[in-house]
Structure 1
Amino acid sequence: MAEPLISVQEMQLWLEKVMAWGQADSPDNQRDICLHLSRLRDFLQKLLTHIGSMSSTTEAMKTLPLLGQFLGQLCWIPYVTADAPSRALLFQCLWGLYSEHPDNAMERKANQWIRKVLCQITTDDDDGAAQALLMDVGLPPAEYHLKVLKKTVALLRENIGKSCSSPCGISQRCSCDRILATSEACVPLVTCPEAASLIGALLQTPLTCTKAALSEDFLDALSSAYSCQRLSLEEQAVVSLWYHSLSSLEEAVLSLLESVLANTRPTPQRLEQQLAQSLLPKACVQHCSIFLVVNDIFRFTLKQAEENESVRRLIQAFTSCFLRELALQEPRKRVPLKAFFPQSPQSLLVPLLTKPSEMPQDAWRHHLNWLSGSLQRLAEEEEDRDGDGSTRGHHKLFEAWFLLVRCAHWVEVAIQLLVTAGSEDCSLLLWLLSFYHHPTNRGHHRDEQLVRIKEAWDHLHSVFSVVGHPLPVDRLQSLAALLSSQPQLPSPAPVSILNLLVNSAVFSQQSLNASTEIFHTVVDRSGLVEEAACALSSLELRLNGGSCSSSDANRVHLRIKALQNTLAHMHAHASTH
């Protein structure tokens, strides 16, 4: 045990002096405090050195049994705590006694007491005598407590900057102990605006040492206050909170899912705006571990709601925002894609995550045929395994489909190519479209749906190839029937057919008037006005991202605008009846 720097007798003398100061408020007492403040500061500095030389709080308390009582008495003497140097030394002594990992009941009780003292010292005191005493010092109680709070926060900020730069042994004491103590001390302050910068600094402290941990109580208090909107944090502090607190991150993702699913037909533009405001894509780029948690929640949700279009749109929009944020990051800081998608088939990863705008348009068909062929082989392998009860193939195919859902821009490009195709074989593109909505044949009836989609595709080619009037009424009626034949909308086949209709109206060589008439007739008879508006918005968003040649851009956007006006008139007409 180290030789104490302060004797028990010296501590006894100072304790008696401090107790006398606290028992009466008289001019003589005030003069005595002022006379002894300088010596008190010297003693506190000596005491701080003594505490730092001890291996634990237990040892410090054993060498000076009156230490806790002495510090506790000082905390309630305004003439001492109003003196900035004395207050700083007093608080530092308290931090020094805080145990990162309390080993016994005494250390746990000391930690509890320190937190209580900090809480009381930074909140209003209703005791009339104490308030009168503060008035004698020349400070209104509210102003005094605010000053103490600000000084406390400033001192705690200093502690954060004193962390070490390398890991320490378990038995060693290092300055990083203060990080845990500081976060514990912040628990009662989390909703105080004055502590916002301190909280942000704590959350963003580099974890260079194993001892530079944040208190679970602190993280729980932050999560609770933030979710109840009683705490305002800067963007980077929110990201850091999610990094430190799994429960806070999960709550943010589930809240996003809930808000998206509450709106069954959010526009793609609104969805991306909502995602950007959530900070989640940015957080995922900064911390791969956050991305993996978000990804797991999306994976589970998709398994539970495979046919829910809103869930798919959310996952696609999230991936788009994530890839955009990733592209903005400095290359030297960028984490390899494989780390973000460890379960995805690696042969499909880069081909699917590559955006259509990143390659020449004349390469799209070859790229999509390769993707469709690769996915088709995976699907066939899974179906071959169905007989032996293996689940490995199911997992591999699901992960491939999950990645396709994330990168549904390639499905949208496949639809565009289907409606602009001439005499080319489109069987692989049709299969990809069917697979996107029906990843397995078990319960999804992919083969049957493929027949329905091909039938609709043939009808659309026939209808949009007609020159002049009259339009083939029987074909239009068949299309409307295919769109509305299933009772629960939007179900997979109608969604595929509706996207084919929208793309045909936009990209076909049919005149604008004729295309608009076909579009209006089929949508009106099927009753899918809102779904058609959402499909048009999604197409417009993709084309704005560069997936359209400059020569076609004006023509295509004019046709989109005309179709949107048609839907607006249909919606207005429906509202008046």
Structure 2
Amino acid sequence: MSQLQPLIQPQAEPLLDVQEMQFWLEKAVAWGQADSPDTQKDTCLYLSRLRAFLQLLLTHINKMSSTAETMRRLPFLGQFLGRICWNPYVTADAASSRLLFQSLWSLYSEHPSNAVERKANQWIRKVLCQLATEEDDTTTQALVKHMGVPPKEYHLKILRKMVALLLEKIGKGCSYLVNSNQRCSCGSVLAASEACVPLVTYPEAAPLIGALLQRPVTCVRAALSQDFLDAVSAAYSSQRLSLEEQAVVSLWCHSLPSLEGAALSLLESVLTNTGSTPHNFEQQLTQSMLPKACAQHCSVFLVVNDILRSLLKQAEGNKCVLSLIQTFTSCFLRELALLQPQKGVSLKAFFPNTPQNLLVPLLTQPSEMPQEAWKDHLNWLSGSLQRLTEEEEEEDEDGGTRGQCVVFEAWFLLVQCAHWVQVAVQLLVMAGPEDCGPLLWLLTFYHHPTNRGHHRTQQLVNAKEAWDCLRSLFLLLAPPLPPDRLQSLFELLSPRPQQPCLAPLLVLSLLVNFAVFSQKSLSEPTEILWTVVERSGLVGEAACVLSSVELRLNGGSCSSSDANRVQLRIKALQNILTHTHMEPC
């Protein structure tokens, strides 16, 4: 009797016939790698019987409670499977190779508890990876020599078989268990993800990667390997892996570093792209899939929103950052509207830190209410924000800090929903002195959110001065342009002795909106706008503000009777401004 006899020990269940097992062990040794005509012929002759035995062996393995028990009862199982796995005539047979792969993955321990199981896991991964990826081995040479199968074709065939098998395995969850003694098949998810690590750049593995990422997590055992997530993230970010849209979103849900990396990479790309406009921002953000992912998964939005919050703190007055945050939020809200009410997630879940009385009023789009209601809506927003800042200032006197956080969160949401600030600037064009107060306060708060370092009270005086100057130029005075009024505008855009400079974007927003919405003939507004921005060196910035106005109006924030006139004025003003090189918006 051969030394392989201990494969079946006396205490094992009589599921496997001892003589049958002995027969196949001796066959595996005799066949080797089937490199002679006789062994090749013998292998092919016994293939159908081998398949039946492998099926019986797989059933026996699945009856065991653990890999350690399996190896204790079948101590030479690894040797048998290893020899068969390296026989090209066995692995080339679809049914046989499928049973081999199933046996190997049934032996894989999702949570190895001892040295036997850890060693078995290492060996299984090595065997499968070599079968799928090695192109210079004796098995391949034998196939090329005796079967005429090109190495690349052979390995692709093996890889596809492995992918097909694993796709079937990971599709089965706890509900597929026949009885409580069987091991939960969810563990195959971890095993499959670990096997995918060296394969992430192979196109043939993409369906398996996508299925792993998108598989519902119904069991604590159905975890994905961190090495797998890191490898997929690195391959995708370096464009060596192509994934479907939902697989990418799932990757971000599984891997925080991957999500953060994608968000930061997008922000860097957008903010460093010279010549960007709000329209370009919208295109880049939409193509990135981040707004859609944020709408589908609140957890993703909270991460991205926190990155934007930190960015705003670091670059508070940066016009690119303000425009980017607004555009991202606009894209997100549009995607969220497509999902509601099916999604059923409250806005409070997406904005947990925001003062709740401001949430819905700010997130509401101007196009969602009659234009006659805009003024009252903005007056309410302005009054609510004023009360928050007054409470903050009172708390500051008492040494508190909570008020600062509340005001910052309110301002952050206002930056995200800057469409209402833009509407306020539009209404200021035709507003009278008795109506301009709340609108100017809202505009000033947007650009100067605190009194610490911002001197908001003085800025409100400066903003009123800029509005008075522009109102007289565009609505009251006849040509020619009075030099003293133009000089006042230049000074408001420049540092002033012992006085804080009013944010240039505030003055530019007023200037551009007066040029667009005033009732004067086009020639005079064009002359005023060009004279001021050309002398101030702010042509590019003015063009970006004009682009933002156009983008908002395309969303329906203009009466139909006035739409054609306004659009024609915008195009004419753009033609004037774009003669000069635009700076990034």
State which of 513, 519, 522 in structure 1 corresponds to 2:532: 522
- TM-score, length-normalised on structure 1? 0.94
Q: Which residue of 2 aligns with 1:347?
A: 357
Q: Which residue of 2 aligns with 1:203?
A: 213
**Secondary structure at 1:332's aligned position in 2?**
coil
Q: Which residue of 1 aligns with 2:165?
A: 155
- Would you say 1:385 and 2:401 are equivalent positions? no
Q: 1:125 deviation in Å?
A: 2.9
Provide structure 2 residue ranges, at least 5 long, that are not aligned to the other structure.
1-10
Q: Which residue of 1 aligns with 2:3?
A: none
Query: Are the aligned partners of 1:356 and 1:547 in contact in 2 as well (CA < 8 Å)?
Result: yes
Distance 1:259 1:169, change over 3 A: farther
**Secondary structure at 1:333's aligned position in 2?**
coil
- Would you say 1:238 and 2:227 are equivalent positions? no
Instruction: Spell out the pairing of 1:372-411 with structure 2 (5 A cutoff).
Output: 372-411=382-421
Q: Which residue of 2 aligns with 1:97?
A: 107
Query: Are the aligned partners of 2:189 and 2:222 in contact in 1 as well (CA < 8 Å)?
Result: yes
Query: Are the aligned partners of 1:326 and 1:334 in contact in 2 as well (CA < 8 Å)?
Result: no
User: Separation in 2 of the partners of 1:348 and 1:363?
Assistant: 17
**Secondary structure at 2:503's aligned position in 1?**
helix
Query: Are the aligned partners of 1:134 and 1:144 in contact in 2 as well (CA < 8 Å)?
Result: no
Q: 1:167 deviation in Å?
A: 11
- Would you say 1:60 and 2:70 are equivalent positions? yes
Q: Which residue of 1 aligns with 2:6?
A: none
Q: 1:377 deviation in Å?
A: 0.7
Q: 1:463 deviation in Å?
A: 0.9
**Secondary structure at 1:5's aligned position in 2?**
coil
Query: Are the aligned partners of 1:282 and 1:325 in contact in 2 as well (CA < 8 Å)?
Result: yes
User: Separation in 2 of the partners of 1:474 and 1:249?
Assistant: 54
Distance 1:103 1:534, change over 3 A: same
**Secondary structure at 1:186's aligned position in 2?**
helix
Distance 1:468 1:24, change over 3 A: closer
Amino acid at match of 1:403: L
Instruction: Spell out the pairing of 1:350-365 with structure 2 (5 A cutoff).
Output: 350-365=360-375
Q: Which residue of 2 aligns with 1:18?
A: 28
**Secondary structure at 1:484's aligned position in 2?**
coil
State which of 440, 450, 460 in structure 2 corresponds to 1:450: 460
Distance 1:524 1:16, change over 3 A: same
Q: 1:261 deviation in Å?
A: 2.2
State which of 380, 402, 424 in structure 2 corresponds to 1:370: 380
State which of 438, 441, 446 in structure 2 corresponds to 1:431: 441
Q: Which residue of 1 aligns with 2:223?
A: 213
Q: Which moved more, 1:249-258 or 1:416-425?
A: 416-425
**Secondary structure at 2:174's aligned position in 1?**
coil
Query: Are the aligned partners of 2:516 and 2:569 in contact in 1 as well (CA < 8 Å)?
Result: yes
**Secondary structure at 1:99's aligned position in 2?**
coil
Amino acid at match of 2:402: R
State which of 284, 287, 298 in structure 2 corresponds to 1:274: 284
- Would you say 1:45 and 2:64 are equivalent positions? no
CA root-mean-square deviation: 2.3
User: Separation in 2 of the partners of 1:517 and 1:273?
Assistant: 32
Amino acid at match of 2:90: V
User: Separation in 1 of the partners of 2:18 and 2:403?
Assistant: 74
Q: Which moved more, 1:118-127 or 1:9-18?
A: 9-18
Q: Which residue of 2 aligns with 1:501?
A: 511
Q: 1:165 deviation in Å?
A: 4.4
Post-superposition CA distance 1:377-431 (Å, at most 9, x none): 1111111111232221111111111111100000001111111112433211111
Distance 1:570 1:207, change over 3 A: closer
Q: Which residue of 2 aligns with 1:554?
A: 564
Query: Are the aligned partners of 1:476 and 1:522 in contact in 2 as well (CA < 8 Å)?
Result: yes
Distance 1:166 1:138, change over 3 A: closer
User: Separation in 2 of the partners of 1:167 and 1:289?
Assistant: 32
Q: 1:312 deviation in Å?
A: 1.5
Post-superposition CA distance 1:217-270 (Å, at most 9, x none): 111110111111111111111111111111110100010111122136620000
User: Separation in 1 of the partners of 2:152 and 2:69?
Assistant: 38
Q: 1:131 deviation in Å?
A: 0.9
- Would you say 1:138 and 2:148 are equivalent positions? yes
Amino acid at match of 1:60: T
User: Separation in 1 of the partners of 2:486 and 2:280?
Assistant: 32
User: Separation in 1 of the partners of 2:454 and 2:551?
Assistant: 29
Distance 1:170 1:353, change over 3 A: farther
Query: Are the aligned partners of 2:12 and 2:73 in contact in 1 as well (CA < 8 Å)?
Result: no
Distance 1:486 1:179, change over 3 A: farther
Query: Are the aligned partners of 2:492 and 2:502 in contact in 1 as well (CA < 8 Å)?
Result: no
Q: 1:83 deviation in Å?
A: 0.6
Amino acid at match of 2:562: D
User: Separation in 2 of the partners of 1:263 and 1:499?
Assistant: 23
Distance 1:356 1:2, change over 3 A: farther
Distance 1:535 1:146, change over 3 A: same
Provide structure 1 residue ranges, at least 5 long, that are not aligned to the other structure.
none
Query: Are the aligned partners of 1:265 and 1:534 in contact in 2 as well (CA < 8 Å)?
Result: no
Percent pairwise identity: 72
User: Separation in 1 of the partners of 2:315 and 2:181?
Assistant: 51
Distance 1:48 1:567, change over 3 A: same
Instruction: Spell out the pairing of 1:114-133 with structure 2 (5 A cutoff).
Output: 114-127=124-137, 130-133=140-143
Query: Are the aligned partners of 2:177 and 2:184 in contact in 1 as well (CA < 8 Å)?
Result: no
Distance 1:112 1:503, change over 3 A: same
Post-superposition CA distance 1:472-515 (Å, at most 9, x none): 1110121022123389xxx8611100000000011112221111
Q: Which residue of 2 aligns with 1:292?
A: 302
Query: Are the aligned partners of 1:22 and 1:73 in contact in 2 as well (CA < 8 Å)?
Result: yes
Amino acid at match of 1:126: D
Distance 1:91 1:505, change over 3 A: same
State which of 478, 483, 502 in structure 1 corresponds to 2:488: 478
User: Separation in 2 of the partners of 1:261 and 1:542?
Assistant: 21
Q: 1:133 deviation in Å?
A: 3.9
Q: 1:357 deviation in Å?
A: 0.7
Q: Which moved more, 1:512-521 or 1:102-111?
A: 102-111
Q: 1:324 deviation in Å?
A: 0.7
Q: Which residue of 1 aligns with 2:15?
A: 5
Query: Are the aligned partners of 2:34 and 2:40 in contact in 1 as well (CA < 8 Å)?
Result: no
Q: 1:338 deviation in Å?
A: 1.2
Q: Which moved more, 1:215-224 or 1:30-39?
A: 30-39
Q: 1:172 deviation in Å?
A: 6.7
- TM-score, length-normalised on structure 2? 0.93
